[in-house]
Every structure is written in structure tokens, then in C-alpha cells.
Amino acid sequence: MPAIRAKASGKTAFVNVRLLDPASQTDCQGGLLVEDGKIAGIGPQITAANLPSGCTVIDGKGACLAPGLVDMRVQLREPGFEHQETIETAGHSAATGGVTTMVALPNTDPVVDDVAGVEFVARRARKVGLAKVFVYGAVSKGMEGHEITEMGLLHQAGAVAFCDGDQTIANSRLLRQALSYATFFDGMIVQHPEEPELSRGASMNSGELSTRLGLSGVSPLAEVIQIERDIRLAEMTGGRLHFAHISTGESVEVIRRAKKRGLKITCDTAPFYFALNENAVSDYRTFAKLSPPLRAEEDRQAIVMGLADGTIDAIASDHNPQDADSKRLPFAQAAAGAVGLETLLPISLELYHNGFMPLLDVIGRLTMHPARLMKLGAGTLAIGKAADLMMFDPDRAGKIDPYAFVSKSKNSPFDGRLTQGKVVRTIIDGRDVFVHAPWFEGQ
């Protein structure tokens, strides 16, 4: 089950803020009242001059107040790989990035493929008391792709969806069985869409650049072929199927057509795939080695358009921490993956600043939509909901410095990137878990 933590007592009012709530399409100046860890009031009527007695007042100085980010794809690394990340360090990293809810992949050691694994993560998250942590259950035992897990028991224990981490569910029989099984409790299967045989041994996107660099490439077709097969299985079973971190234009088009046919198909992408292209690896930069790999510029543009028209349902950080020794290797041998919790908001805000999406829509892809996909009841400023909030300045200029990250790992392809947008306060159940003090001091 999700972590349970003590909630703030008393009353707190956030005033002089721009309220952003995609779930209710709210975008207005006003305030928000928190009482005993829950949202008790919201709207333009809540001002410093119109508050209950004994209320703590926080002046937002015109900043945006939105639901805390809901990150549906995070690798916490605990248990088994604590030298790369822990639930505690990821929790602090999430707080710094405005993330109040994380859904953790099951690819730990041991794999989260039984009830004990789900309960371990819940206990650790409860003890840490930072971001709320939910978990995926593995689809196959040991994520080996041979035998299905006890998905029903995992669901009852608190697993909110099912995947095999960063491994493709390549076995058609197994995926069909999982999709059918999950229909009994309306569970969602999440796929890493990359046909294994077409991508085996590849280091980056195939094309002119990979040829020039002398690196083995994986064709974008490896992604779309997997997606097309899996859509057929979803249609056969009537199951809910979600594709993670899609990266190619053809994938967007295939998913768009499937949605028009009324199939239960959804997808997400990560900031890497709409903010970067394959040129980021030009100098053999292993911090830009990802899975799936960064694609061509036309693919990046298609991902942006897929977000803008709603084909892509959500944005996830795809937080994949790697230690320095795993990255400081020749490109072909280096581990794939990048951290993303602390860059999720500022990079996503580029979609707004560059005119591709309204601000409310960008925030929706980071809050309401992933929360609904996972049936979490988060991602909204509705009265009665937990006061999981993020306050941010959408125009605050910055520069990404991975060595200033709170995360234990520093592997980011955005090193040195100029940004607009900064989280200045993160609140969970009415408690401050991160405050950027200089901002409130007017610096």
C-alpha cells in the first residue's frame, strides 16, 4: 500500500498566487486554504484579509500554485542498487523538483514480483516520509519473461500497474495472458516498446550520425513494430495497455490511429524525447545514452505535436540514476539512462514557453493525466483532497547543473542547459518538504 505519514495540523493559507488546476480548468489569481493536511478552500475569495483566525499565511508573491507533480516512471534503485539511488535520496530529489507522488518501477534486487516486495517499498517510503511512493508489480517472475506473476495478489497489496521495468515483454503469449488477467480488476500493463532482437547490442539511433560515429544503431522501427504487435494483443483481449517513453514519429501515428478505433491504449514520453535529439551524443556523450535512444529531429518534433494534440497522455521523468563508473566508459559499454526528477518541470515548461502548449495543458500532462492513468486520486486542487502542492515561478531563469542535484546520481544530458521555470515550494499533506528560501526573501 502507499506510504502513510503524519499530516500537518492547523490551518495554512497560500495567498497571492496564480491557481492552476487542470482537473477543473482553473487558472486564476487567488488563494488556497489547507486544514489538517487537506485542501479546505480555493479561489479568488481567499486573501490575506479574509482568513479564519489562527491561520498561518504564506504569501506566494504571484507564483503559480498547482497540484504536486505525479511522476509515473521512476527507478528508485532500492533495494539492491543503493549506490545509485535510495528511496530517501529520490524523495529529496523529487521534493526539489516539485514531485509529490512517484510510481516506482519493479526492477530492483530482488524484483518487486511478490507481495513482500510491494510491502517493503511501502515501509521504506513511510519511514522516509517524503514523496508518496506507489509501485508497479512485475508482469513476469524475476522479469525474466517466462512465467506470469500473481498479479491479482500484487494488485490487492497495492501495485497500481504492471510492467517488467526497462525490459520489453517480448513473449506474445505472456503479454496476452497478462492483458487478459488484468481485465478482471481493470489493471494496466505498461510496456517498454523496443523489439529486443532488432535493438540487441545497439548504442544509439541508427542513421547517418551513428554511421559517422562508428556506433551500432537501433532503427526506430524496433519501437513501432513492438507497438503494432502489442496493439493487436490489446484489441484481442480488451485489456488496458500503456506504452512508456515513446520516442518516434511513427509510434505517435500508430497510437493515434489505435485511439481513434476506441482501443484502451495510452502512452507517455519523457522530456529527453521532446527536448533533445540524437545530436546530443555527437561527442560520444554517455550522459545522453538512453533507452530508447534519442532520435532524429523529425521524431522530436513529432513527439511535441503528439503532446500538443493529446495523443501522448502524460509526461514522466523516466528517472534512471546511474553511478559515475557506469557512465564513464566507452559509449558502447556505458549504461543507458539519465536522472530526471529535478529537471522534469523546467524542461517540460519549454513546451509552454515555445508556444506549443498552454501552461495548464503542460501541468495537466504532469499531474492530472498520470494520476488518472494510475487511479491515484492525486493531481488536483479539489476540496477534500490531500494538500500535495507545488509552487513555482514559470519565468525564473536558471541553468541546469547536475552536480547541484540532490539525487545521488548526476547523469543528466541537460548539463548546462538554460531554463525558464523553478520550483520554489513543495508541500505534501500540508507539510513543507522543500522551500527555496532565497525566492521568498526576494532574491
> How many CA atoms within 13 Å lie on the side-chain side of 281?
34
Contact between residue 174 and residue 146 where contact means Cβ atoms under 8 Å apart: yes
List the beta bridge partners of residue 279.
Answer: none
Give the three cell numbers for residue 35.
Answer: 486544514
Active-site hit among 166, 299, 313, 318? 318
Contact between residue 380 and residue 369 where contact means Cβ atoms under 8 Å apart: no
DSSP string, 215-266: --EE-THHHHHHHHHHHHHHHHHT-EEEE-S---HHHHHHHHHHHHTT--EE
Is 318 labeled as catalytic in the residue annotation?
yes
How would you class 441 by CB atoms within 10 Å of its CB: exposed for 0-12, middle for 13-18, buried for 19 or more?
exposed
Report the alpha-carbon distance of residue 118 to residue 123 in Å, rounded: 9
CA distances from 254 to 201, 246, 289, 350 (A): 26, 11, 25, 26
Contact between residue 113 and residue 142 where contact means Cβ atoms under 8 Å apart: yes
Best CA proximity match to 367, nearest among 172, 155, 97? 97
Three-state SS at 89: helix
Q: Helix and strand tally (H, E) in the chain?
A: 16, 18
Report the alpha-carbon distance of residue 305 to residue 296 in Å, rounded: 15
Secondary structure letter of residue 48 according to DSSP: T
Secondary structure letter of residue 407 according to DSSP: S
Contact between residue 218 and residue 206 where contact means Cβ atoms under 8 Å apart: yes
Secondary structure letter of residue 68 according to DSSP: P
Q: Looking only at Cα atoms, what is the longest distance across the chain? A: 69
3-state secondary structure 3-60: CCCCCCCCEEEEEEEEEEECCCCEEEEEEEEEECCEEEEEECCCCCCCCCCCEEEEEC
Catalytic residues: 318
